[in-house]
A and B are shown apart, each in its own frame.
Chain A
């Protein structure tokens, strides 16, 4: 029987080590550099093929070139297309004629403090030795708690199946020493896979390069271990505000407030019991 302790909720340091893994395996992750994404969706396709992810609706959304809409049980990589009017000059991000396109491949963030993992009541979600977060589908009973808990809208319930599904960061491929299918398929190295420390260093270099070149709005998203989820295992270089890409500007792991919620639930329970006792003792028949 696994027992997690509330005190561990916001533990610093490597999440795999905090979860009990012993060894020298570094934390692995993604750095998605959206400034070189060409919107080819090879990542979406490669992910589906490798992970046997079923089709996700084949709907025509009528917005941009994005028909998969967002991440979900059957979309583990999602390419966003954002068409923006610019001042009319040729933008360095590839826009001409007063329009620029932002393209970005979104994925599960494999948070340092993962709300989905914290709230899973069955132990189906777990932290791997690579520091990633994975669902054990033979255990998930489809309670749906992880879906309400995820601050990014990543994990979802698969229709007709009932269980929760999301990106595994290709746990099976990692175990065999291969890189995840999406990163392997990406033709522009927009999706980079590797040890998180190396990726963060590389990302800082790339950001400096872009800022030097005068690309306005370039920023890193999810790389800061001091953010509300303790930093993302999959982080991004964006060219506009996160919400423009459908990402929350300041996500916070909900369980950060759980100790306070428990204290208040206990206090409320105490008041309820006391009120009944006092009134029954005080009211004569």
Chain B
């Protein structure tokens, strides 16, 4: 660590002072791939449950089955990732010790506790052909909670002091909703027969395009912090997300119309783009917490403008 005079750091475009360049915030202890992986898988699970219900209601049985199974698999992996990330995994059940609306993690724990069994019931019924009533109830129930499972994670990461997460709190739920829907459409395109996935080509293209646009809008809303997206891992992941999602969108409306192979290719690109979006958001947050500039500069601006946003 090189000593930098507390009175003189002039870095980049904005001037700010700091304590020897040390971060003000403690680095989030949430780790990759657990947490960004969960943001992706939770979104996939939640949105897939909605696709599954819509497919079931419109008689697309193979798609319904594929979406139910991917939803259940994704939520199962999510749970494993979340427990694995805990400092004391054996105490995971303390998450259900209280219900605290002031904590998105508490709200999310109860959401997952309600969603996962319903998603599993839908999948068991789809796989075995038995327990059809429970399966139908699970399909409907999971579709009701699924959208919230997909978007509450935006409140989860934004409800922190981490600049790149908090400053994006207005747009983040919409970024995550678009990303989740793009991934669920992508999974359906990759896993279901071509005759049943026409709606997913529309949804995948629209959600992917929205994902690309909304993350740019989110960054524009945080002029002092968006630099955290423009360096290191966040930058690489975001480039990957752009390429993947853009390719998925284009393929969905071109190759994807022609046959299963093109649709699957489009789906795989959308899935990869969605996952990389979450990894980019995650890494930008870590980078923004580790650099005092992203804590000091926006707060100084707020003070000089005499208003709290």
Contacts A140-B88, A148-B162, A249-B299; A153 near B101 (Cβ below 8 A): no
Q: Which residues does chain B contribute within 8 Å of A284, judged by CB atoms?
A: 198
Question: Across the interface, do B177 and A4 meet the contact criterion of CB distance under 8 Å?
Answer: no
Check if B38 is an interface residue, CB within 8 A of chain A.
no
Question: Across the interface, do A250 and B154 meet the contact criterion of CB distance under 8 Å?
Answer: no
Question: Across the interface, do A280 and B54 meet the contact criterion of CB distance under 8 Å?
Answer: yes
Instruction: Find the residue from B54, B170, B207 having the highest chain A CB count within 10 A.
Output: B54
Question: Across the interface, do B19 and A1 meet the contact criterion of CB distance under 8 Å?
Answer: no
Q: Chain B, interface size: which category?
A: 35 or more
Q: Which residues does chain B contribute within 8 Å of A83, judged by CB atoms?
A: 5-6
Contacts A121-B106, A272-B47; A265 near B161 (Cβ below 8 A): no
Question: Across the interface, do B160 and A123 meet the contact criterion of CB distance under 8 Å?
Answer: no
Question: Across the interface, do B19 and A246 meet the contact criterion of CB distance under 8 Å?
Answer: yes
Check if A144 is an interface residue, CB within 8 A of chain B.
yes
Q: Which residues does chain A contribute within 8 Å of B154, judged by CB atoms?
A: 261, 264-265, 268
> Interface with A: B21-29, B122-130, B261-269, B273-281, which one?
B21-29
Question: Across the interface, do B97 and A122 meet the contact criterion of CB distance under 8 Å?
Answer: yes
Check if B239 is an interface residue, CB within 8 A of chain A.
no
Q: Distance (Å) between the CB of A264 and the closest chain B CB?
A: 5
Contact of B94 among A84, A124, A252, A258 (CB under 8 A): A124
Q: Which residues does chain B contribute within 8 Å of A270, judged by CB atoms?
A: 147
Q: Which residues does chain B contribute within 8 Å of A3, judged by CB atoms?
A: 98-101
Check if B173 is an interface residue, CB within 8 A of chain A.
yes
Residue of B nearest to A228 (CB): B308
Q: Distance (Å) between the CB of A272 and the closest chain B CB?
A: 5
Check if B203 is an interface residue, CB within 8 A of chain A.
yes
> Interface with B: A49-57, A89-97, A158-166, which one?
A158-166
Q: Distance (Å) between the CB of B155 and the closest chain A CB?
A: 4
Q: Which residues does chain B contribute within 8 Å of A119, judged by CB atoms?
A: 102-105, 159-160
> Interface with B: A35-43, A58-66, A180-188, A208-216, which one?
A58-66
Check if A271 is an interface residue, CB within 8 A of chain B.
yes
Contacts A228-B308, A243-B292; A148 near B7 (Cβ below 8 A): no
Check if B71 is an interface residue, CB within 8 A of chain A.
no
Residue of B nearest to A140 (CB): B88
Question: Across the interface, do B155 and A275 meet the contact criterion of CB distance under 8 Å?
Answer: no
Check if B134 is an interface residue, CB within 8 A of chain A.
no
Bound-state CA distance A258–B170 (Å) is 10
Check if A9 is an interface residue, CB within 8 A of chain B.
yes
Interface string of A230-271 (1 = CB under 8 A from B): 000000000001011111111110110110111011111111
Check if A139 is an interface residue, CB within 8 A of chain B.
yes
Check if A87 is an interface residue, CB within 8 A of chain B.
no
Q: Which residues does chain A contribute within 8 Å of B162, judged by CB atoms?
A: 148
Question: Across the interface, do A244 and B18 meet the contact criterion of CB distance under 8 Å?
Answer: yes
Interface string of B156-194 (1 = CB under 8 A from A): 001111100110011011101100110000000000000
Check if A33 is an interface residue, CB within 8 A of chain B.
no
Question: Across the interface, do B1 and A265 meet the contact criterion of CB distance under 8 Å?
Answer: no
Bound-state CA distance A253–B103 (Å) is 13
Instruction: Find the residue from A63, A251, A284 having the highest chain B CB count within 10 A.
Output: A63
Contact of A147 among B1, B28, B89, B109 (CB under 8 A): B28
Contact of B296 among A63, A145, A243 (CB under 8 A): A243
Check if B213 is an interface residue, CB within 8 A of chain A.
no
Check if A128 is an interface residue, CB within 8 A of chain B.
no
Q: Distance (Å) between the CB of A243 and the closest chain B CB?
A: 5
Q: Which residues does chain B contribute within 8 Å of A267, judged by CB atoms?
A: 173
Contacts A250-B300, A272-B47; A141 near B22 (Cβ below 8 A): no
Bound-state CA distance A156–B99 (Å) is 23
Question: Across the interface, do B203 and A121 meet the contact criterion of CB distance under 8 Å?
Answer: no
Question: Across the interface, do B26 and A162 meet the contact criterion of CB distance under 8 Å?
Answer: no
Q: Which residues does chain B contribute within 8 Å of A84, judged by CB atoms?
A: 5-7
Bound-state CA distance A245–B104 (Å) is 32
Residue of A nearest to B8 (CB): A85
Check if B206 is an interface residue, CB within 8 A of chain A.
yes
Question: Across the interface, do B28 and A144 meet the contact criterion of CB distance under 8 Å?
Answer: yes
Question: Across the interface, do A261 and B173 meet the contact criterion of CB distance under 8 Å?
Answer: yes
Question: Across the interface, do B17 and A244 meet the contact criterion of CB distance under 8 Å?
Answer: yes
Bound-state CA distance A63–B165 (Å) is 30
Question: Across the interface, do B161 and A150 meet the contact criterion of CB distance under 8 Å?
Answer: yes
Contact of A265 among B55, B102, B143, B151 (CB under 8 A): B151
Enumerate chain A interface residues (CB-CB to B < 8 A).
1-6, 8-9, 61-64, 69-72, 80, 82-85, 115, 118-124, 139-145, 147-157, 161-164, 228, 241, 243-252, 254-255, 257-258, 260-262, 264-273, 275-277, 279-281, 283-285
Pairs across A and B, CB under 8 Å, 21 listed: A3-B101, A63-B1, A118-B102, A121-B100, A124-B94, A139-B91, A139-B97, A141-B86, A150-B25, A243-B16, A246-B292, A248-B296, A250-B299, A261-B159, A265-B152, A265-B173, A266-B151, A269-B147, A269-B177, A279-B199, A281-B58
Name the 6 nearest CB pairs between A and B, nearest first. A142-B87, A162-B87, A246-B19, A269-B147, A141-B91, A268-B173
